[in-house]
Chains A and B, each alone.
Chain A
């Protein structure tokens, strides 16, 4: 069978706002995602009839983001009834996984166009869900299976000697870049304004333009009394949705779409759950190898900042140049609505390749339970 090229042909997302106190607390996640999907359809110009499947990533698919929420988002977005819908869960890697599934299907000649979305309302569905019921035997034998994310960040910081000062520098830098991008209107193109009870939410809400090293130094550790990780060096609980349009390159060309980037390679990998933040290392190495590239070839990097400690340790291990990473800010500043992050960073990496006129990009993130996921993109 012939190898078919897969492209990212569009990217959009909702504003990202604080869970519990932000402007989208009262916006249902299914509705949020539907508005993003509609926005993406309009912007990309794809004919909805050609879409094979709506693949939606979600880390805690219950409550308002439960059932098969992808199918429901399809109805809400008024996709043609023939467009299918599936929900996928790889925790924080869920919507990047959605992209990978689309890519795989296209290469299997099982469709030409896919909508790959991600959602998480951390206001409306708590982390761990409404009914956390752990396997008591596993909890006893292998407690790392259920370890809290904050604890993994502390483990990473300790084992990889990531000082609190470095973590805080990254956080301040992330906010600075995000605020600059926001100020320069660079985030506008990707954001679909949300309509909520007659009000419009059209800007990210987590960015703190005025943060400083001095302010951060005063915070108490968030997860361990003797720890180095604070609320400021952890991504905030966030509400948000994102979506990318994934098509075959042939389809994009034939239908006048404007591809942002071509998918060069993908990978997932497991790692020790008690240092789940290191997941990107193995996944990235695999993806680079599959792409026939090295870290030095990368021009653009979207490295998810679940925690500053974890992002820095991964960058150190991989030898990533932080100057090339998260040009418009990372999750420390923008927020991390779990299921929605994968599509955001993949779509963002693709958009940046085009905006910056570069060759290769990496989007990678860590995943609770001990995994990493990575996507290598090249200029289309």
Chain B
């Protein structure tokens, strides 16, 4: 059965967030909560909880909705007046209080209205499925499972599924397929055990890290520096993460695990009083949602000082800069160098991670069938770069087992097996394999429609490669252009590989996909290179880089084969311009796209001005005449607007109406490849378009608009310089008139001249330098 209508019961943070994400995926969803006590008879007020949740989400940052209009798909209601509407729902997600009785009572009510074949799932994070289905009819047990989303549901990829003995396999398959393809979630099938997979290990890790820090006298700052980046864990580390999720959650999770974990579980040994935590919670230091937590921002005297709490005294002091040999060593030597280091950081890292990783190794197959499931859960539920078993391979399964043995500690059997063979993962005949619980190896299987470049890379050498980019044959005649610089910025070496693609693809291939598996598609041009050249006055080098980029982007656009770009994460500046030059874009829903050049004091010069103008001019929704496309492009580029999802990118015109959106990151490459192949038959490169630009009359109009912005304090001195230059380019220059066409080439020339003029100004150089140093735009 297709899921055409969903419902979420419980409009708390999780329930509302799940509803929003269903709406993001285009699914109409009913969001119900109780009638608030004391609500008067008016129908509006009776649904105040759901309505309020939607209103709050429309203002929240990070936004639960991918675009404002998605909110129209969420219908607010209440459990009294709207309960019968659940009869029309294919999937009903329950996200109410973590109280088995409350949930079961609700399920009993549900049984009276819901239709046959509909699926009910609970978003519980602490209650076992067995308990939830107690005393409920057979039909319910067959249609029920646990769907455990992570907070915030839009952004966290993990979706844990727990099926009961009676759950229909088709119901599980249906929700898994829907979660995977439509909601874009990484599905992990879990056993019905406490904390399921991610939180079972994650909570152990948090508890262990806190206890070890307290007992070893490790500061909050040191703990987070050690248990963060060096291990591929988000920089919030442990205490920063607790601040993020809320300190008050910890005692609840602890109590729940203590009550439900088997008596011999290693977690019990880690439990002990944590008076500081209780004190912080009591004083309102519940984390970022409260006054602060282990960290706080001290705004006394108008300042903004980040402070950290002293775990011994409970006093706050300005957060200390971490200086640990182990952390420095990890910069080059990775996790292995970290735990091998003898300083307090290294010893702390080993103490915590050895316990956590051994714990994880002891839990398969108790909590999940295989180790890839566990790794996936931690990667997508806690944003770890490597799951526990991947980390064990990084540290060396043999070395870890040996060190545990040397220390007189137990080595879990699975770790022992890994130590005796080739580790938890190996590559055999170009295939990634994992260690099974019986000690053999099995292929890591990808679902149909999943294609990973990392898998392709195991199978052979690239078609071409240099330090900045590579070309890979991804099968069926499609070549993948992968940029692999820092933040995947564009530089002359990337252009060389692009030029190579122009050579290679027509000889025996059909299409090109631009894609990489980094966090970000591309943060734009390599500013460092430009700054370096500017510092030595090598202006021709910079101009060459601009010209080369224009040449190769234009050549890609005019190439005799289709080019499909597949962004995920940031696609800014020069990264955005690649999208604009492509025949089609297959965008990951979480794509953040914009022409942000103005932020560093320049204008888009790899065709961005030209392409956006052409897009806006062709948009039938805009009024006719020479100014609307120009004014719109001026606003989008001048304000360096960034679309915060693929949907917003469509609204801003960075994506065309026909460009497609993929929700599951792992499906992006396959979808892009499919899109490219669709374009192959009868492919004709787009012909250059003429634009009819207003020239000086239009520039004068923009100049007045700009003057007003300046007066209002919305445009700085250098904004005026940059925007005036941008206005010149977008209106077609001094000779343009809307009765005569302006060619694409003429606009490219203006882009280049404008870029060169701006890059030599002190204001622009200051912006570039500031961006390189701080990662933030300078408002000069």
User: Interface of A with B (CB < 8 Å)?
Assistant: 63, 128, 130-136, 139-140, 143, 146, 148, 150-151, 154, 221-225, 227
Question: Would you call B697 and A151 a contact (CB within 8 A)?
Answer: no
Q: Pick the contact of A131: B626, B703, B707, B713 (CB < 8 A).
A: B626
- List CB contacts (< 8 Å) of B685-732 with chain A: 694, 696-701, 703-704, 707-708, 711-713
Quote the shortest CB–CB distance from A28 to chain B (angstroms).
15
Instruction: Produce 1/0 per residue, B621-664, CB < 8 A to A.
Output: 00111111000000000000000000000000000000000000
10 closest Cβ pairs, A-B complex: A131-B625, A225-B713, A134-B700, A136-B696, A133-B697, A130-B623, A139-B700, A131-B627, A132-B701, A136-B700
A310 to B215, CA, bound (A): 72
Question: Would you call B700 and A130 a contact (CB within 8 A)?
Answer: no
Quote the shortest CB–CB distance from B109 to chain A (angstroms).
37
A150 to B625, CA, bound (A): 26
Question: Would you call A133 and B627 a contact (CB within 8 A)?
Answer: yes
Q: Pick the contact of A225: B694, B707, B711 (CB < 8 A).
A: B711
Residues of B within 8 A of A139 (CB): 700, 703-704
Instruction: Jot down 17 A-B pairs with beta carbons below 8 A, ordered by A.
Output: A63-B623, A130-B627, A131-B626, A132-B701, A133-B626, A133-B627, A133-B698, A133-B701, A134-B701, A135-B700, A148-B704, A150-B711, A154-B711, A223-B708, A224-B711, A225-B711, A227-B711
A19 to B101, CA, bound (A): 51
Question: Would you call A132 and B696 a contact (CB within 8 A)?
Answer: no
Residues of A within 8 A of B623 (CB): 63, 130-131
Interface size class of B (residues with CB under 8 A): 20 to 34
Residue of B nearest to A140 (CB): B700
Question: Would you call B704 and A135 a contact (CB within 8 A)?
Answer: no
Quote the shortest CB–CB distance from A158 to chain B (angstroms).
13
A135 to B698, CA, bound (A): 9
Residue of A nearest to B623 (CB): A130
Residue of A nearest to B704 (CB): A146
A369 to B13, CA, bound (A): 53
Quote the shortest CB–CB distance from B23 to chain A (angstroms).
23
Residue of B nearest to A146 (CB): B704
Residues of A within 8 A of B707 (CB): 148
Residues of A within 8 A of B628 (CB): 130-131
A151 to B628, CA, bound (A): 24
Residues of A within 8 A of B699 (CB): 136
A133-B701, A134-B700, A146-B704 are contacts. A223–B625 as well, Cβ < 8 Å? no
Residues of B within 8 A of A224 (CB): 711-713
**Consensus secondary structure, chain A interface:** loop
A322 to B243, CA, bound (A): 59
Question: Would you call B697 and A136 a contact (CB within 8 A)?
Answer: yes
Question: Would you call A134 and B712 a contact (CB within 8 A)?
Answer: no
Residues of B within 8 A of A133 (CB): 626-627, 694, 697-698, 700-701
Among B625, B626, B628, the one with the most A-chain Cβ atoms within 10 Å of its Cβ is B625
Quote the shortest CB–CB distance from B727 to chain A (angstroms).
12
Quote the shortest CB–CB distance from B730 to chain A (angstroms).
14
A63 to B703, CA, bound (A): 24
A140 to B699, CA, bound (A): 11
A247 to B245, CA, bound (A): 74
Residues of A within 8 A of B708 (CB): 148, 150-151, 223
A140 to B707, CA, bound (A): 13
Quote the shortest CB–CB distance from A222 to chain B (angstroms).
7
Residue of B nearest to A63 (CB): B623
A227 to B698, CA, bound (A): 28
Among A128, A132, A140, A225, the one with the most B-chain Cβ atoms within 10 Å of its Cβ is A132
A222 to B714, CA, bound (A): 11
A221 to B628, CA, bound (A): 28
Residues of B within 8 A of A148 (CB): 704, 707-708
Quote the shortest CB–CB distance from B686 to chain A (angstroms).
27
A131-B628, A139-B704 are contacts. A151–B711 as well, Cβ < 8 Å? yes
A135-B700, A139-B700, A146-B704 are contacts. A130–B711 as well, Cβ < 8 Å? no
A134 to B694, CA, bound (A): 10
A135 to B697, CA, bound (A): 6
Quote the shortest CB–CB distance from B487 to chain A (angstroms).
35
Residues of A within 8 A of B624 (CB): 130
Residue of B nearest to A62 (CB): B623
Residues of B within 8 A of A130 (CB): 623-625, 627-628
A132 to B627, CA, bound (A): 7
Quote the shortest CB–CB distance from B712 to chain A (angstroms).
6
A128 to B623, CA, bound (A): 13
Residues of A within 8 A of B703 (CB): 139
A214 to B695, CA, bound (A): 47
A311 to B694, CA, bound (A): 37
Residue of B nearest to A224 (CB): B711
A225 to B711, CA, bound (A): 6
A136 to B734, CA, bound (A): 10
A63 to B624, CA, bound (A): 10
Residue of B nearest to A130 (CB): B623
A133-B701, A134-B701, A146-B704 are contacts. A223–B626 as well, Cβ < 8 Å? no
Residue of B nearest to A126 (CB): B623
A154 to B703, CA, bound (A): 19
A97 to B295, CA, bound (A): 66
16 additional contacts (CB under 8 A) given A131-B627, A135-B697, A223-B708: A130-B624, A130-B625, A131-B625, A131-B628, A131-B694, A133-B701, A134-B704, A136-B699, A139-B703, A139-B704, A148-B707, A151-B708, A151-B711, A154-B711, A225-B713, A227-B711
Instruction: Produce 1/0 per residue, B13-29, CB < 8 A to A.
Output: 00000000000000000
A376 to B708, CA, bound (A): 36
Question: Would you call B697 and A223 a contact (CB within 8 A)?
Answer: no
Among A135, A136, A150, the one with the most B-chain Cβ atoms within 10 Å of its Cβ is A136
Residues of B within 8 A of A63 (CB): 623
Residues of B within 8 A of A221 (CB): 712
Question: Would you call B627 and A225 a contact (CB within 8 A)?
Answer: no
Question: Would you call B711 and A134 a contact (CB within 8 A)?
Answer: no
Residues of B within 8 A of A225 (CB): 711-713
Quote the shortest CB–CB distance from A249 to chain B (angstroms).
45
Among B699, B703, B707, B711, the one with the most A-chain Cβ atoms within 10 Å of its Cβ is B711
A151 to B710, CA, bound (A): 12
A148 to B696, CA, bound (A): 19
A151 to B696, CA, bound (A): 23
Instruction: Produce 1/0 per residue, B606-625, CB < 8 A to A.
Output: 00000000000000000111
Quote the shortest CB–CB distance from A358 to chain B (angstroms).
41
A74 to B623, CA, bound (A): 25
Question: Would you call B625 and A134 a contact (CB within 8 A)?
Answer: no
Residues of A within 8 A of B712 (CB): 221-225
Quote the shortest CB–CB distance from B701 to chain A (angstroms).
4
Quote the shortest CB–CB distance from A67 to chain B (angstroms).
14
A134 to B625, CA, bound (A): 14
Residues of A within 8 A of B713 (CB): 224-225
Residue of A nearest to B622 (CB): A130
Quote the shortest CB–CB distance from B648 to chain A (angstroms).
20
A150 to B588, CA, bound (A): 43
Residue of B nearest to A221 (CB): B712
Quote the shortest CB–CB distance from B417 to chain A (angstroms).
66
Quote the shortest CB–CB distance from B450 to chain A (angstroms).
45
Residues of A within 8 A of B704 (CB): 134, 139, 143, 146, 148
Residue of A nearest to B626 (CB): A131
A150 to B705, CA, bound (A): 12
Residues of A within 8 A of B711 (CB): 150-151, 154, 223-225, 227
A353 to B707, CA, bound (A): 43
Residues of B within 8 A of A223 (CB): 708, 711-712
Quote the shortest CB–CB distance from B649 to chain A (angstroms).
24
Quote the shortest CB–CB distance from B750 to chain A (angstroms).
17
Quote the shortest CB–CB distance from A129 to chain B (angstroms).
9
Residues of B within 8 A of A154 (CB): 711
Residues of B within 8 A of A128 (CB): 701
Residues of A within 8 A of B700 (CB): 133-136, 139-140, 146
Residues of A within 8 A of B698 (CB): 133
A136 to B623, CA, bound (A): 23
